[in-house]
């Protein structure tokens, strides 16, 4: 049984009176590609935001390789408002800022591309190397860390070459066509040397051909960088083709989980998401 890389335990995220994620528990094991699917507004990106530290959950824990790095329970204003389950099960508060979580080895892309628009392709990726730099402000300013800087640049170039973006490396990132921008998002995330990669709708806006290319692309990346991948996606071809396991969310709650084959035949999923045909197929 391979190691559990990521585990969510009873994660509930409540905003005011709205429960966006409802008692979600899931796990991702070493080397897997796991997909989270569900209709829009099902709470998928919110779950990502909890994992990456953008939001503190209202209740629940998140573990990375067995160590709890996010934990919370209903307190303060939420103590009165909390309408979710498992109240009282968790009593610790552990928070980490997104940058610390990235340093742990969890990287993410964004649903709406968030590139550094005015910077070049090269700089977008190079910046992601900053967090692993050991030189301080002084050394860095007076160029005493020339070797390290050179290594960072070489790494960046190599990454761009692998992702087929080397030819545009000096272009301003916002001038790239959409497909390349998405690749750049992923390149940037990879530059942080993650072991777990969170992809938020990587195929958004892509046509079927591009989606096919992306499928092969993600497989290749997984092999090359020894990644575990957790992905939110709507394109069913991609999901069914590439995932080892799938979790299905609806209104913040998980309604099914299993292999692609199991999910395709699950009635609840079909009703909630894949759609019921006019003839009742």
Partner 1 sequence: MTLTTFLQHGLTGISLGGAYALIAIGYTMVYGILRLINFAHGEIFMMAGYFMIFAIASFPWFLAIPIVIIATVILGVLIEKLAYKPLRSAPRMSIMISAIGVSYLLQNLATYLFTALPKGYPSIPFLKKIFQIGDVSASLVTIITPFLTLALVYLLILLINHSKMGMAMRSVSKDFETSQLMGIKINQVISMTFIVGSFLAAIGSILYFTDRMTVFPFSGMLPGLKCFVAAVLGGIGSIPGAVIGGFILGIGETALVAMGYSTFSDAFTFAILIVMLLFRPTGLFGEKEVDKV
Partner 2 sequence: MKKLDFKLKLLLSLILAAIALALLAYLDANRGQYSYTLSILERSAIYAVVAVAMNLLTGFTGLFSLGQAGFMAIGAYTVAILTIPVEARDAVYYVNGIADGLANAHLPLWAALIVGGIFAAVLGWLIGYPVLRLKSDYLAIATLGFSEIIRAFISAPQFDRITNGSYGLKSIPSFPSTFMVFGVSALCIFLMVMILRSSYGRAFRAIREDETAAEAMGINLSKHKQMAFVISCFFTGVAGGMLAVYMRSIDAKSFQIGLTYDILLIVVLGGIGSVTGSILGSFLMTAGREWLRFFDDPLMIGDFSVPLFRTGFRMVIFSLILMAIVLYYRKGLMGTKEFSWDGLYRFLRHNLYLRWRKPVAGPKGGDGQ
Task: Report, in Å, the least distance between residue 171 CB and partner 1.
Answer: 23
Interaction of residue 225 with partner 2, rule CB under 8 A: no
Interaction of residue 167 with partner 2, rule CB under 8 A: no
Parallel/antiparallel/unpaired status of strands 18-29 and 106-108? unpaired
Binding mask 142-161 for partner 2 (x = CB under 8 A): xx-----x--x---------
Size of the site for partner 2 (CB under 8 A): 38
Residues contributing to the site for partner 1 (CB under 8 A): 15, 45, 49, 54-55, 110
Answer yes or no: are the C-beta atoms of 248 and 263 closer than 8 Å.
yes
Binding mask 33-52 for partner 2 (x = CB under 8 A): -------------------x
With H, G, I as helix, E, B as strand and everything else as coil, classify residue 76: coil
Interaction of residue 11 with partner 2, rule CB under 8 A: no
Q: Choose the binding region for partner 2 from 68-76, 158-166, 186-194, 217-225 (rule: CB under 8 A).
A: 186-194
Distance CA 176, CA 161 (A): 16
Answer yes or no: are the C-beta atoms of 225 and 162 closer than 8 Å.
no
257 binds, among partner 2, partner 1, none (CB under 5 to 8 A by kind): none
Going through 116-209 in order, the beta strands assigned E by DSSP cover: 196-200
255 binds, among partner 1, partner 2, none (CB under 5 to 8 A by kind): none
Answer yes or no: are the C-beta atoms of 106 and 228 closer than 8 Å.
no
Q: Name which of 16 and 88 has its Cβ closer to partner 1.
A: 16
Q: Applying CB under 8 A, which of residues 89, 95, 100, 268 lies at the interface with partner 2? A: 100
SS3 content of the chain, % helix, strand, coil (to 5): 40, 25, 35
Sheet with 228-232, side-by-side order of all strands: 106-108, 196-200, 228-232, 33-37, 245-250, 253-258
Q: Name which of 54 and 157 has its Cβ closer to partner 1.
A: 54
Distance CA 256, CA 180 (A): 34
Q: How far is CA 155 from CA 5, 146, 213, 218, 234, in A?
A: 26, 14, 24, 20, 32
Binding mask 104-143 for partner 2 (x = CB under 8 A): ---xx-x---xxxxxx---x--xxxxxxxx-x-x--xxxx
Interface positions with partner 2 (CB under 8 A): 52, 54, 97-100, 102-103, 107-108, 110, 114-119, 123, 126-133, 135, 137, 140-143, 149, 152, 188-189, 191-192
């Amino acid at each position: 049984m391979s190691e559990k890389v990521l585990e969510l335990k009873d994660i509930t995220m409540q905003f005011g009176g709205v429960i966006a994620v409802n008692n979600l528990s899931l796990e991702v094991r070493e080397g897997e590609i796991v997909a989270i699917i569900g209709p829009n507004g099902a709470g998928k990106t919110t779950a990502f935001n909890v994992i990456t530290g953008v939001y503190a959950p209202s209740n629940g824990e998140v573990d990375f390789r067995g160590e709890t790095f996010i934990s919370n329970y209903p307190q303060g204003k939420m103590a009165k408002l909390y309408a979710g389950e498992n109240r009282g099960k968790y009593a610790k508060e552990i928070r980490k800022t997104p940058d610390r979580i990235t340093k742990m080895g969890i990287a993410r892309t964004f649903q709406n591309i968030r590139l550094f628009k005015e910077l070049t392709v090269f700089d977008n990726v190079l910046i992601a190397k900053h967090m692993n730099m050991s030189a301080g402000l002084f050394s860095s300013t007076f160029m005493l860390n020339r070797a390290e800087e050179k290594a960072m640049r070489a790494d960046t170039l190599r990454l761009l070459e692998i992702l087929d973006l080397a030819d545009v490396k000096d272009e301003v990132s916002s001038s790239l066509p959409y497909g390349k921008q998405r690749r750049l998002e992923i390149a940037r995330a990879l530059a942080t040397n993650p072991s777990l990669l969170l992809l938020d709708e990587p195929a958004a806006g892509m046509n079927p051909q591009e989606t096919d290319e992306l499928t092969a692309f993600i497989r290749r990346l997984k092999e090359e960088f020894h990644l575990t991948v957790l992905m939110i996606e709507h394109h069913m071809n991609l999901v069914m083709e590439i995932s080892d396991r799938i979790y299905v969310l609806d209104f913040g709650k998980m309604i099914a989980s299993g292999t692609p084959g199991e999910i395709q035949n699950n009635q609840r999923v079909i009703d909630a998401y894949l759609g019921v045909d006019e003839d009742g197929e």
